[in-house]
Amino acid sequence: MKSFAKDEFIGLKVKVRECSDPKWVGKSGHILNETKNTFTIDIDNKERIIAKNIAKFEFEVNGKRIYLDGSKIMFRPENRIKKVR
């Protein structure tokens, strides 16, 4: 899981598994952009921005499901490779 957290997320399919804002739970789409604190996700052909620190995410990669707590990946994408533990 640590090595996945260092990978590029843009383009991956993602689902919000848990969130402090209940309207997000169960929403899924493809990641369009990432900042230190947010993901921009294409949900039903609309760009939606979700804060990483309020949600737990499920990624689908090569037929596998990988779960990550958004608060554990709150780094700039270019710095995440060095900082994820």
Q: Considering the chain, what percentage of its residues have pLDDT values greater than 70?
A: 92
Residue 70 corresponds to which amino acid?
Answer: G
Please state the rounded mean pLDDT for residues 49-58. Answer: 98
Structure letter (DSSP) for residue 72: G
Residue 48 CB neighbours (<10 A): 16
The CATH number linked to 15 is: 2.30.30.210
Question: What is the total count of domains within the chain?
Answer: 1
Instruction: Note the pLDDT tens digit of each residue in 57-69.
Output: 999 888 899 999 9
Distance of CA 58 to the CA centre of its chain: 8
Handedness of CA 20, 41, 35, 63 (dihedral sign): positive
Q: Which residue range forms the structural domain that includes residue 68? A: 2-83
| pLDDT value at residue 35 | 94
At residue 40, what is the residue type?
T
